[in-house]
Chains A and B, each alone.
Chain A
Amino acid sequence: GAVVSQHPSWVICKSGTSVKIECRSLDFQATTMFWYRQFPKQSLMLMATSNEGSKATYEQGVEKDKFLINHASLTLSTLTVTSAHPEDSSFYICSLMPRHWGSNYGYTFGSGTRLTVV
């Protein structure tokens, strides 16, 4: 299956600063990537769909200006949490849509980034 690398695995930042999280597809060109956030002991909430070369599609209730997504190449998507506040503290996970998502292939997930805003 596909291999995805997500960095950093954890980050602590001060309130008001911005944090960038990277998600790289290592072995195939991913035109579509997804970003999720997960609160402790809860499920994954889809934040946005990242499409290479075009604007991201955000889910309802997700602030576009707060969570900036850039998918400038076929192997890299980034999520920038701007002007982070403690309530943005969460576990952020990226995912690649498989090459043939209509068939029997599951999605590949990054290892996640634990963001703590102090």
Chain B
Amino acid sequence: SQQGEEDPQALSIQEGENATMNCSYKTSINNLQWYRQNSGRGLVHLILIRSNEREKHSGRLRVTLDTSKKSSSLLITASRAADTASYFCATVDRGSTLGRLYFGRGTQLTVWP
């Protein structure tokens, strides 16, 4: 089953602008992960934030996590045309013994040169 919603469903920006995507989830989590998927391809792991963390950075990526609101955001700064892809958040439930990963609906990001 899916975990939650991503917002917006689609985002279109110019190169150089920042892109912000939001994700909400429903359960208590162990961690939340963001993935990127180019059209018709597999997923690439971008960043993982644990439930006891509030913010994490990796290069041009910044992820925040608010467990009280059950939400996360992914910020891509100084976007490039090559960032065009679908972005998904995914969660592992707290106490999960199988480590199952459940995905949100995703945000389709288009960056125009």
The smallest beta-carbon distance between A55 and chain B, in angstroms, is 13
Do A43 and B103 touch across chains, with their CB atoms under 8 A apart?
yes
Do A43 and B106 touch across chains, with their CB atoms under 8 A apart?
yes
Do B100 and A34 touch across chains, with their CB atoms under 8 A apart?
yes
Do A95 and B101 touch across chains, with their CB atoms under 8 A apart?
yes
Do B42 and A6 touch across chains, with their CB atoms under 8 A apart?
yes
Do B88 and A107 touch across chains, with their CB atoms under 8 A apart?
no
Please provide the 9 A-B residue pairs with the shortest distance between their CB atoms, ordered closest to farther.
A106-B45, A109-B42, A109-B43, A111-B42, A101-B99, A44-B103, A43-B105, A97-B99, A43-B103
Do B98 and A45 touch across chains, with their CB atoms under 8 A apart?
no
Do B105 and A49 touch across chains, with their CB atoms under 8 A apart?
no
Do A110 and B42 touch across chains, with their CB atoms under 8 A apart?
yes
A95 to B42, CA, bound (A): 9
- How many residues on B have C-beta within 8 angstroms of the other chain's C-beta atoms? 27
Do A43 and B104 touch across chains, with their CB atoms under 8 A apart?
yes
B32-69 near A? 1/0 per residue, CB < 8 Å:
01010000111111111010000000000000000000
Do B33 and A106 touch across chains, with their CB atoms under 8 A apart?
yes
Residue of B2, B42, B45, B46 near A93 (CB, 8 A) is B42
A44 to B77, CA, bound (A): 26
Do B1 and A46 touch across chains, with their CB atoms under 8 A apart?
yes
Do B30 and A102 touch across chains, with their CB atoms under 8 A apart?
yes
The smallest beta-carbon distance between A7 and chain B, in angstroms, is 12
Q: Is B102 an interface residue (CB 8 A)?
A: yes
* Minimum CB distance partner of A59 in chain B: B1
Do B98 and A91 touch across chains, with their CB atoms under 8 A apart?
no
Identify 5 new A-B residue pairs, CB closer than 8 A, beyond the known A32-B99, A44-B103, A46-B101.
Answer: A6-B42, A34-B101, A43-B88, A102-B99, A110-B42
